Amino acid sequence: MGIFQKIFGKEQCTLCGAECGALHRTKIKGGEYVCSDCVKKCSAYVRVSEMDRAEVDGHIEYMRRQEQLYQTLFVNARLETFPTGVTKQGITFADELGMFTILDRMSGKNKVYHEMFRYDQVAGYERYEEMNQPTEPGQPETLKERGIKLRLYGAADHIEMDEATSRRGFRSHPYVRREIKVVFQTSDNGTDYTDNAIAHFNAIFGVHDDEHALFSFGMNKKEKRDLMGAIAFAKTAGAAIKVAKDGEASLTDEKKAELEQQMNAMQDAQTGGLAEYTRRADAAEDKVFGGMDQ
């Protein structure tokens, strides 16, 4: 094969078999090619060129399931989106599922599948702002873009999941390794919703739960959670002794349900409230994928 043929000749997509020209394919690890239609089925936050055939294949299957979850549960959940009226990108929270998705009217708009992220996959989030240098000296800087940077728990070059982290309830994302930038605004026209979205993340992660609101009396959220955890521990310990003495059959279904609730309360106290969202996300995934091999 000549060099011209090598660069401009058609190649076959290793996944779907389609013929693809130089502008409509991505070379993957191992030297095979994936056509642009198959790449559209991948997440906007992965680099397909860094995966091998088996990984891309598995990833597309993962994305297909994400779409299924999106269509069956996410669209029917109570949703909260920032900014309202997304023109660039935005975040839609579904607290009842413990998940969010990123709306993308920019680069991601030709993606085939929707993708959800679990709250317990989030390793960090922060507001960011980039400015344009003034074209003439003495002029003020102007806004280039602002929004939120997100980092997820993942393997390899990203944030290591150490034992302590996974015990605190966090989950590793199976594919996304890079920082995600969600562009809320590219000019100062319109309202800045960045802090609203940050506040929503803060509420999820219980960031201000140990602060008393001004003039509020009694226990704050964290103290309540810790107390519930302590009470639950005492109750659970009692039940555990009964089980040890009389066997599990000695527990009524009612008592078992109560026990499960108490154990959840203990978990909440340990994970700063995040465990509640983990349970919701698990339940959502069970509902959609329960009958499938995972």
Interface contacts to Zn ion, rule CB under 5 A = 13, 15-16, 18, 35, 38
Helix, strand, coil distribution of the chain in percent, nearest 5:
45, 20, 35
Question: Is the CB of residue 284 less than 8 Å from the CB of residue 97?
Answer: yes
By beta-carbon proximity to Zn ion, the closer residue of 18 and 239 is: 18
By beta-carbon proximity to Zn ion, the closer residue of 38 and 150 is: 38
By beta-carbon proximity to Zn ion, the closer residue of 11 and 285 is: 11
Query: Closest Cα to residue 92, out of 68, 115, 125?
Result: 115
What's the closest the beta carbon of residue 10 comes to Zn ion, in angstroms? 13
What's the closest the beta carbon of residue 18 comes to Zn ion, in angstroms? 5
**What is residue 255's three-state secondary structure?**
helix
By beta-carbon proximity to Zn ion, the closer residue of 15 and 275 is: 15
Query: Closest Cα to residue 84, out of 188, 196, 187?
Result: 196
Bridge-based pairing of strands 11-12 and 19-20 is: antiparallel
What's the closest the beta carbon of residue 48 comes to Zn ion, in angstroms? 11
Long-range Cβ pairs for the range 281-288 (8 Å, 24+)? 281/97, 281/98, 281/99, 281/118, 281/119, 281/120, 284/69, 284/73, 284/97, 284/98, 284/99, 285/69, 287/72, 287/73, 288/65, 288/68, 288/69, 288/72, 288/73
What's the closest the beta carbon of residue 37 comes to Zn ion, in angstroms? 5
What's the closest the beta carbon of residue 16 comes to Zn ion, in angstroms? 3
What's the closest the beta carbon of residue 175 comes to Zn ion, in angstroms? 18
By beta-carbon proximity to Zn ion, the closer residue of 15 and 103 is: 15
By beta-carbon proximity to Zn ion, the closer residue of 61 and 286 is: 61
